[in-house]
Amino acid sequence: MNITLNKSSLLAAIEISKDLNILKSKDLSYLESVKTSFDIKGGQKLIELIGLEIINELNTKIKEHDYQIILRQILNKYLKDEKPGFLLRITGGRDYFLNYIDENFEQLLNDAGLYNEINLSKEGREIGNWWDDLSEFVRNLEKDKKLDQGREGEEKTIRYEINKLKKLDIKKKPKWISYEDNSAGYDVLSWDEEQNKIFIEVKATNNTNGLFYLSKGEWRFSVSAKDNYFIHVWIQDKKEPRIITYSELNSKNYKIEDSSNAEWEKIKITPVLMN
């Protein structure tokens, strides 16, 4: 819907809620010229997004704290529904977030008391919870995006293996293991030219150099599967994967260490040669 939430559009939404006849006017630009501080069109869009009921509720709150509570609800809904680009910066913390919003939006956050002190008081906890809720929302968005990208890469590998097996005249189909067991250590089960099982871990990356991360579980499985283990790295819009064999993964090109004296969860790998 491309809605801008600022003081002007919010005041316009409140004004409209008082007199719905404003929306029936054929010349909104005239109204905006009369009420120069109001973004009438923006207020109209805001009502469509937030709902007339909550705007009316905001207008009836006389006590500052009651007003702030409703305004926080409006801000929360706006950010989650519209997902403006600056929202992704919220996980960096309140002060960091300020660097990516304009003065108009900052004013609304201050009006909502969201830059008041966060402490152990009820109000302090409410403010902290507001920031935590949106930070968690953004983290989940990023997880979903990574999951979508990963599934897309797995689908590409399934198609790649189907075509490969057809060319080899092998009457088998690859199996999408990650849907059955996400902790298996690989994503796709297929076969090589001698009809031996092969285990394929799929990585999809936006990095042009093919950078990806390998988990400890994936590394341990590669050690157990050895030459039957492969990694398909799908780089952006490439039509074929960069295939990493176990021997390459275990070569001196990649420093992978796992001992009783050291613990690691994942390692960063940049493929050395492109195929």
Q: pLDDT tens digits for 22-75?
A: 655 555 555 555 555 678 788 888 888 888 888 888 878 778 889 999 999 999
Q: Say if residue 106 is in the same domain as residue 20.
A: yes
Say if CB 48 and CB 1 are below 8 A apart. Answer: yes
Task: Assess if residue 143 is contained within a domain.
Answer: no
Q: Say if residue 102 is in the same domain as residue 179.
A: no
Q: Say if residue 157 is in the same domain as residue 254.
A: yes
Task: Assess if residue 139 is contained within a domain.
Answer: no
Q: Say if residue 159 is in the same domain as residue 265.
A: yes
Alpha helix (H) ranges present in the chain?
A: 7-18, 28-34, 40-50, 52-60, 64-82, 94-98, 103-111, 122-167, 216-225, 246-249
Say if CB 216 and CB 265 are below 8 A apart. Answer: yes
Give, for all 275 residues of the chain, the pLDDT tens digit: 567 898 888 988 888 887 766 655 555 555 555 555 678 788 888 888 888 888 888 878 778 889 999 999 999 999 999 999 899 899 999 999 999 999 999 999 999 999 999 999 999 999 999 999 999 999 998 888 777 888 899 999 999 999 999 999 999 999 999 988 888 889 999 999 999 999 999 999 888 888 888 888 898 899 999 999 999 999 987 889 999 999 988 876 676 654 444 455 677 788 876 54
Q: Say if residue 36 is in the same domain as residue 77.
A: yes
pTM for the structure as a whole: 0.63
Domain range holding 32? Answer: 7-115
What's the CATH number where 253 sits? 3.40.1350.10
Q: Say if residue 194 is in the same domain as residue 105.
A: no
Q: Say if residue 108 is in the same domain as residue 206.
A: no
Residue type, 9: S
Helical pair 64-82 and 40-50, crossing angle rounded to 10 deg: 80
Hey, how many other C-beta atoms are within 10 angstroms of the C-beta on 111? 17
Say if CB 22 and CB 35 are below 8 A apart. Answer: no
Mean pLDDT computed over every residue of the chain: 85
Identify which of 64, 66, 48, 62 has the alpha carbon closest to the alpha carbon of residue 12: 48
Task: Assess if residue 2 is contained within a domain.
Answer: no
Task: Assess if residue 127 is contained within a domain.
Answer: no
- Is 235 in a helix, a strand, or coil? strand
Cα separation, 181 vs 189, in Å, equals: 12
Cα separation, 160 vs 152, in Å, equals: 12
Q: Say if residue 100 is in the same domain as residue 180.
A: no
Say if CB 263 and CB 215 are below 8 A apart. Answer: no
Residue type, 36: T
Q: Say if residue 265 is in the same domain as residue 163.
A: yes
What's the structural domain count of the chain?
2
Task: Assess if residue 130 is contained within a domain.
Answer: no
Task: Please give the structure tokens belonging to residue 193.
Answer: 């030219």
Given this model, what pLDDT does residue 36 score? 53
Give the start-end residues of each E strand in 146-252: 175-176, 188-191, 197-205, 212-215, 229-235, 242-245
Number of separate helices (H) and strands (E) present in the chain = 10, 7
Task: Assess if residue 126 is contained within a domain.
Answer: no
Q: Say if residue 111 is in the same domain as residue 161.
A: no
Task: Assess if residue 124 is contained within a domain.
Answer: no
Q: Say if residue 92 is in the same domain as residue 13.
A: yes
Task: Assess if residue 83 is contained within a domain.
Answer: yes
